[in-house]
Amino acid sequence: MPKAKNAADDTPTRRSVLIAGAGIGLTATACTREARPSAGAPGPGARAARRRQAGVTTPQQATALILAYDLDPALRGAAGARELKAVLGSWTRALSETQEPQENLETQDARAAGGGRESRLTATLGVGPGLPDRLGLRAPDALRDLPSFPGDRLDPARCGGDVLVQLCADSADVTEATAATLTRLAGDALVPRWRQAGFLPPSPDGGGTPRDLLGFKNGSANPTAEECERWVWSGDATYLVVRRVHLRVEDFARLAVHRQEEVVGRRRATGAPLDGGSEDDEVDPLAKDAQGRYTTPPRSHVRAVSPRLDDGARMLRRSYSYADGPTDQGLLFLAFMRDPALFARVQRRMAAQDDLTAFIQARGSAVAYVLPGAGPGRPLGAELLA
Ligand code: HEM
């Protein structure tokens, strides 16, 4: 039986841990609004002791690295669960030893003040839909493979995975070093399946909501702290949807700016709704002007994905850009939500009624149940593997 080499006995050296210096969630934290003026505002969850992983409501760091692993195919049932438990135990120890207090990661102020660890590393772990069954564990209800969507051109080598890790930090050196530590500690039990690096393009505004490679602010209409409590968290857990979405950047750039804005449904320079106001204002997809025309085009992206068409249900988008060569660039779409069925509904509407789909194509895809955070005596995965 393959053994999780190093899992129990190979404590990482002080140096490797320092490199890894991670922000796994160990403490109570408020759900913060991403890149919005109210970031850091305590939500209802702040009152209860929470054990949530960092990297969900944490303000975005400059770089991301998504790692997908498969459990060794020879591992099944209780023996497989034991091996996974050993790996997650060693990962928890490695990542928590030099842990940044999570509160320091959750506010924009900490970053502005230079507070906290320089790299602001967070590691966010989840398990894929195939894993619980194989290990004889009860799968969380909403953990299912995503359906296929019209227009996808998925490469199986960039899809799925039994264990997904989102590493984010202000330097790619730090995410890379952490990835190396995690892979070494996984031994033979977890086999790397795919990985995807992401970055935030330089913003002409110097801060604020990051822009995507189409040049638009991406993340403006994210849920508030209160909305995160209702729509993103399920207790201390959540779900992560990853989509590697190729963008036809050149073709989009050839459109006149006003046409680009019609396709997206917000202003390119400011992120404001097309009928005025500021970036913080919601788009009313049904608003009409004096002539009775919709102010936000019916086939615009923000109209197709509007939460108003989902009884208000929200997802928290925390996307990065990727560039793997001149012809392969796009959005590393990362979104957290309490039920990935929301993603499927929104994506189907995009396929049916969103002019942005002419410029995008999903080439990789994965979904994961993001485990509750670790705590004293409770390594990551404790609930699932109990
Ligand atoms: C990959 C190409 C995509 C690009 C370039 C893109 C871009 C944008 C932009 C510029 C906005 C407006 C600003 C903002 O609120 O962030 C936006 C909003 C939004 N997008 Fe996307 N998006 C993409 C894919 C997706 C996908 C795959 C989904 C989910 C299925 C999605 C869901 C949303 C949602 C929920 C909003 C907020 C709408 C609102 O509350 O008003 N997007 N997107």
Is position 9 within any domain? no
Alpha carbon distance 56, 106 (integer Å): 10
Profile the chain (386 residues) by mean pLDDT over runs of 10 residues. Answer: 31 30 37 35 53 95 97 96 97 78 58 57 97 95 96 97 97 96 97 98 83 97 97 97 98 98 98 97 95 97 97 98 95 98 98 98 98 94 91
Give exposure, 251-277, as e/b (b: 16+ Cβ within 10 Å): ebeeeeeeebbbbbbbbbeebbbbeee
pLDDT of residue 328: 95
The H or E element that residue 163 is part of is strand 163-169
> How far is 34 from 232, CA to CA, in rounded Å?
13
Predicted local confidence at residue 326, as pLDDT: 87
> pLDDT of 208-226, one tens digit each?
999 999 999 999 999 999 9
From the list 125, 166, 122, 164, the residue with the least C-alpha distance to 32 is 122
Residue 107's pLDDT is 59
- Taking a C-beta distance cutoff of 8 angstroms, is the pair 227, 218 a contact? no
Q: Is 372 contained in some domain?
A: yes
Q: Could you tell me if residue 2 is inside a domain?
A: no
Q: How far apart are CA 95 and CA 100, in angstroms?
A: 10
CA of 169 to the centre of ligand 1 (A): 23
**Residue 5 lies inside a defined structural domain of this protein:** no
369 in any annotated domain: yes
Q: What is the pLDDT of residue 334?
A: 99
Say yes or no: CB of residue 249 within 6 Å of ligand 1.
no
| pLDDT at residue 24, rounded to an integer | 47
Closest ligand 1 atom number to CA of residue 213: 5
For residues 128 and 161, give the distance between their C-alpha atoms in angstroms, rounded to a whole number: 6
Best CA proximity match to 126, nearest among 113, 142, 111: 142
- DSSP SS3 for 278: coil
- Residue whose CA is at the smallest distance from ligand 1 atom 11: 218
Backbone phi and psi for residue 179, each to the nearest 5 degrees, phi listed first: -60, -40
pLDDT at position 96: 84
pLDDT at 104: 63
DSSP state of 360: E
> What radius of gyration do the chain's Cα atoms show?
20
Backbone angles phi, psi at 268, to 5 degrees: -70, -45
What is the rounded distance in angstroms from the CA atom of residue 117 to the CA atom of residue 98?
A: 10
* Cβ atoms < 10 Å from Cβ of 109: 12
Residue at 117 is within a domain: yes
Closest to 212 in 3D by CA, of 260, 157, 164, 277: 260
Which of 309, 317, 321, 349 has most ligand 1 atoms within 8 Å of CB, for mutation?
A: 317
Q: What pLDDT score does 373 carry? A: 96
Q: How many structural domains compose the chain?
A: 1
What's the domain range around 156?
14-385
Residue with the nearest Cα to atom 6 of ligand 1? Answer: 218
The CA 92 to ligand 1 mean position distance, Å, reads 33
Domain assignment present for 363 = yes
